Amino acid sequence: MKRERALKVVLVMVGLLFTAGVVPLTVFFSREPAVPMLMSIYVTLGIFLLLAVRDPAANRGLICFAGWANLAHAAVMAAQEYRNVIARRELAGVVVFAVVGVVLVALAPAKQPVERASAGVA
């Protein structure tokens, strides 16, 4: 029960962060044309994470996707920072995306057992 409550709190925080906090700052102050496109995906993900708060178990796939996508984003950013493709100040973003990813994956609801219908039952 505590785990589900913690997950719901994280879903709300991350959903609001992606939907309302990060996007306006990034989109309006970025000179990179790809940033608004990427952030539009995060806005959409944020909205769906907020909707997932109602029933996290039914939205396990979305929560896992959000976690692993954030970890992948953090890994790409870390590699870009290491190769000096992006500015060193972007390292904070690596940490944020990595933490969000780890927390979402760690708190994701357990996989529910699937009941199989027997072919021999009439």
* pLDDT tier at 37, thresholds 50, 70, 90: confident
| C-beta separation of 69 from 101 below 8 A | yes
Is 62 within the bounds of a domain? yes
Is 29 within the bounds of a domain? yes
Name which residue leads in pLDDT, 116 or 15.
Answer: 15
- Structure tokens, 7: 């997950």
Q: How far apart are CA 52 and CA 63, in angstroms?
A: 8
Is 49 within the bounds of a domain? yes
Is 25 within the bounds of a domain? yes
Give the length of the chain. Answer: 122
In a 3-state reduction of DSSP, which class is residue 70?
helix
The residue range of the domain holding 61 is: 2-107
pTM of the model: 0.82
Distance between first and last Cα of the chain: 39
Number of structural domains (the chain) is: 1
Is 117 within the bounds of a domain? no
In the chain, what percentage of residues exceed pLDDT 90? Answer: 53
Is 30 within the bounds of a domain? yes
Is 60 within the bounds of a domain? yes
* Per-residue pLDDT tens over the stretch 2-34: 999 999 999 999 999 998 866 566 666 667 777
Asked whether residue 55 carries a pLDDT value surpassing 70, the answer given is yes
- Structure tokens, 51: 């909707």
* Per-residue pLDDT tens over the stretch 63-102: 999 999 999 999 998 999 889 888 777 788 889 999 999 9
- Provide the pLDDT for residue 121: 58
